[in-house]
Structure 1
């Protein structure tokens, strides 16, 4: 874990901040120290069909969901979420100064009994790191 979903409105997809968004959130998640390299999955999707606020075409959005496994205390989850959100907002602040932008971030915890995995990434990553 974590699994990260990033959605952004198409009207800002070409902006430099949005082009840097995927790497920013990925690095911020790694920097928390909570998540193993082999556990991170990040998806980035540009949404073409949307209505934001009053429907004005200049309105834009970025929505990030960080879904983690169960077992961390509330303070650890809060600090990690705040660290990722601060990096996200820091990156997007110049874009928000130029146009209407709604940024949303949510940390979700996966259900402990309804969360299944079939994964060999950790072993492959370890072997690649050892061979370097």
Structure 2
């Protein structure tokens, strides 16, 4: 853990900021210093959505990060602030060119309901 889901409106699929956003999210998550690289999963998914008044130029990006429990409120707040700052900065050129709604949320998953089978730590760095 953590896992990130990025949804975006199809009208921005070819924008350069979106093409590098997944890596930017990963880099920001690692920069927090609280997430293990072997636990990162980042999904990027185009969605057919209606944004605002329905104008075809309206763009949308939603980033949701789910993390395991056990970190203090301050640690989570600092991580969320850093991730939002980095990702917002990454997307600013896109927002400067047209309408963009960007939302970010970080959710904690109770460990009692989080099951895993993961041997990636044995391979990370060997591949």
Q: TM-score, normalised by structure 1?
A: 0.92
Q: Which structure 1 segments of 5+ residues have no match? A: none
Q: 1 CA distance for matches of 2:16 and 2:124?
A: 30
Q: 2 CA distance for matches of 1:101 and 1:3?
A: 24
Structure 1 SS opposite 2:92: helix
1:125 positional shift: 1.4
Q: 1 CA distance for matches of 2:93 and 2:23?
A: 17
Query: Which residue of 2 is the match for residue 42 of structure 1?
Result: 42
- Kindly report the root-mean-square deviation, in angstroms, between the aligned alpha carbons of the 2 structures: 1.1
Aligned length: 127
Q: TM-score, normalised by structure 2?
A: 0.96
Q: Which structure 2 segments of 5+ residues have no match? A: none
1:23 positional shift: 0.7
1:94 positional shift: 1.1
Query: Which residue of 1 is the match for residue 107 of structure 2?
Result: 108
Structure 1 SS opposite 2:62: strand
Q: 2 CA distance for matches of 1:39 and 1:81?
A: 17
